[in-house]
Amino acid sequence: MALRHYTLDFNLSAPDCPTTVHGLQSIFQEQEMTETVHDTEGHGYLATFIGKNGRLVILRVTALGLLTIDLQCCEGDNIVQVENLLNTLEEKLRSLLHGNIKRVKRLPALTRGAAVDRYWPTADGRLVEYDIDRVVYDEDSAYQNIKIMHSRQFGNILILNGDVNLAESDLPYTQAIMGRGKENYAGKEVLILGGGDGGILAEAVKLKPKMITMVEIDQMVIDGCRTHMRKACGSVLDNLKGECYQVLVEDCVPVLKKYVEEGKTFDYVINDLTAVPISTAPEEDSTWEFLQLILDLSIKVLRPTGKYFTQGNSANLTETLALYEEQLGRLSCPVDFSKEVVCVPSYMELWVFYTIWKK
């Protein structure tokens, strides 16, 4: 059912048009494509060409000298033939426009509507195509859409509500959000908020802590990752209880409140909630207020010498990061923080991580 969509663009030195465009007609005639020239009310030239099997070419020349070709075909079409047509158009245009070309740009074809969706934009809004070749898991839980997709280079990737969360290649994420290499976990008490992919838990148990409590709201994330993200979680999710850990399948907000009430504290609190966290009973209006609530409760259960670790966001989202840092200044308990920019392989963008501690 998918379409392949090719683009081919010529930046011209000087606006050009009718002669060039006529030079292409024999190519379209050979392809038995039906031409329609449109009235653009003075905004350049526009023609569409409809061919066999749903092939479609759109040829535009803007008044300012950009010539664009869009070529769409069905996924089952003869790709060699289609790419040859585009090659022929490119060669012909290069010769017709000779001396009037500033740049030619031909992008890898977009695949639209494919069963396996390869396009997962970055947090800073850029278009990136992943080398995803199959859908491993795709379910809606009570909280979110959970996809696990296979990437040739990154292994399986967990995608929650369209956001790339963690790939099996992403140990740098897990290490960054744990302060790995900087902190001594031996004998410590650790609280993980979220973390349903099991990546942090799997790394943390290796460090011989006294006890890790992980609070993940979504059993289906745990189930999907236990089966399909084993390079990240190992066998740690096979049981919700181990020698030095327990997994509570619960909303972390009431759990945190209970800990505050009981006076229970931790050496490390690791916030691995999704960028827009989920709550069963959000008492606050906005994401920001919810983030603040989590932060405030987390700092309350943190020992005086403890550390709170969390992901920030894309290094490019400087305003969002600044807002977060502002928020850190408004907690009920004064804190200091440091941050680190890390390259997480599957993210296709640099990511900021925070370490926060009580002043």
Q: Which of 210, 165, 192, 200 is nearest to 308 (CA)?
A: 192
Residue number, 14 or 186, with CB nearest to a second copy: 14
As a three-state string, the secondary structure of 311-333 is EEEECCCHHHHHHHHHHHCCCCC
Q: Does 46 bind a second copy (CB under 8 A)?
A: yes
Q: With binding defined as CB under 8 A, does residue 16 bind a second copy?
A: no
Asked whether 219 and 145 are in contact (CB, 8 A), the reply is no
Q: How far is the CB of 288 from a second copy (least distance, A)?
A: 24
Report residue 273 as tokens: 């909630």
Contact positions with a second copy (CB under 8 A) in 226-245: none
At residue 325, what are phi and psi to the nearest 5 degrees?
-65, -35
Q: What does the per-residue mask of binding to a second copy show for 101-120, with x meaning CB under 8 A?
A: --x-x-xx-x-xx---xxx-
Q: In sequence order, which ranges of 162-211 are alpha helices (DSSP H)?
A: 171-178, 199-205
Helix (H, G, I), strand (E, B) or coil at 176: helix
Residue 296 is among the residues annotated as catalytic for this protein: no
Q: CB of residue 341 vs a second copy: minimum separation in angstroms? A: 8
Q: Which is nearer to a second copy, 5 or 358 (CB)?
A: 5
Shortest Å, Cβ 105 to a second copy: 7
The continuous run of DSSP H or E covering 40 comes out as: none
Closest CB to a second copy among 240 and 275?
275
- C-alpha dihedral (312, 167, 345, 107), degrees to nearest 10: -110
Least distance to a second copy, CB of residue 10, Å: 8
- Determine how β-strand 189-194 pairs with β-strand 266-272: parallel
Q: Which of 78, 84, 116, 128 binds a second copy (CB under 8 A)?
A: 128
Overall residue count recorded for the chain in this entry? 359
Catalytic choice (16, 251, 272, 296): 272
Does 187 contact a second copy by CB under 8 A? no
Among 27, 74, 96, 260, binds a second copy (CB under 8 A): 74
Interface with a second copy (CB under 8 A), residue total 65
Stretch that binds a second copy, among 7-15, 20-28, 224-232, 297-305 (CB under 8 A): 7-15
Rounded CA separation 148/170 (Å):
14
Compute the distance between CA of residue 259 and CA of residue 261 in angstroms, rounded to an integer.
5
User: Which residues within the stretch 286-315 sit at the binding site for a second copy (CB under 8 A)?
Assistant: 314-315
Contact between 54 and a second copy by CB under 8 A: the answer reads: yes
Phi, psi of 251 (to 5 degrees): -65, 130
Q: In terms of C-beta density within 10 A (0-12 exposed, 13-18 middle, 19 or more buried), how is residue 326 classed?
A: exposed
In contact, 15 and 64? CB cutoff 8 Å: yes
Helix (H, G, I), strand (E, B) or coil at 235: coil
**159 near a second copy, rule: CB under 8 A:** no
Going by C-alpha positions, the residue among 213, 331, 227 that lies closest to residue 272 is 213
| Residue of 23, 65, 234, 282 interacting with a second copy (CB under 8 A) | 65
In whole angstroms, the minimum distance from the beta carbon of 192 to a second copy comes to 25
DSSP SS3 for 248: strand
Q: Which of 68, 175, 265, 274 binds a second copy (CB under 8 A)?
A: 68
Q: Which lies closer to a second copy via its Cβ, residue 222 or residue 348?
A: 348
Q: Where along the sequence are the contacts to a second copy (CB under 8 A)? A: 1-3, 5, 7, 9, 11, 34, 36, 38-41, 43-44, 46, 48, 50, 52-54, 56, 58, 60, 62-66, 68, 70, 72, 74, 103, 105, 107-108, 110, 112-113, 117-119, 121, 124-131, 152-154, 169, 172, 314-316, 343, 345, 348-350
Catalytic residues: 272
